[in-house]
Each structure stands twice: as structure tokens, then as C-alpha cells.
Amino acid sequence: MVPMTTTLQEHIKQAIFAVEQEGIILPLVLEKFAQLIIAECLNQCYYRGMNDELYAGQLRAALYIEQHFGAEP
């Protein structure tokens, strides 16, 4: 089993908080959690190492993620 990072733990807390605040049920908790993970992946693609030789590939990866999940930056 892979240990959870602090960021992943924080996303779980945010999803639970959203549920408590909005009164949504478990399937929506999972959806909110997935949205937070997708947003974090896009954030890493767009803003990490913006000036290195891999940035073009990161932008392409972000596009693939957006297309696959129907997400927006």
C-alpha cells in the first residue's frame, strides 16, 4: 500500500469539509475528492518547472487530463 502524502491527506479533509458544509452524501464526497485530485494534477502540469525543457510535455499532459476527465484548468 502506498503511503498518502500530506497533499493527498489535505484533499481528503477538504472533501469531507465540503460534505459537512453542503450536506452532500458519500458518492458526492468521492466526486469532490476526485475533482480535487484532478485539479492538483493540472496544477502540477501547469506550474511546476515552467522554465525547463519538459514544460511542453507537461502542457500536453494537462490537455490530456482535461480531455479525459472533462476538466477545466
Delimit the domains of the chain by residue range. Answer: 6-69
pLDDT of residue 58: 93
- CA–CA separation, 58 and 44 (whole Å): 8
- CA–CA separation, 33 and 31 (whole Å): 5
For the segment 40-51, what is each residue's pLDDT rounded down to a tens digit?
A: 999 999 998 878
Record the cell numbers describing residue 41, joined without a space. Answer: 494534477
Q: Is 45 exposed, middle or buried (0-12, 13-18, 19+ CB in 10 A)?
A: buried
Whether the per-residue pLDDT at 7 is higher than 90: the answer is: no
Q: Which residue has the cell 522554465?
A: 51
Mean pLDDT along residues 2-30: 72
| Residue 50 amino acid letter | M
pLDDT of residue 2: 45
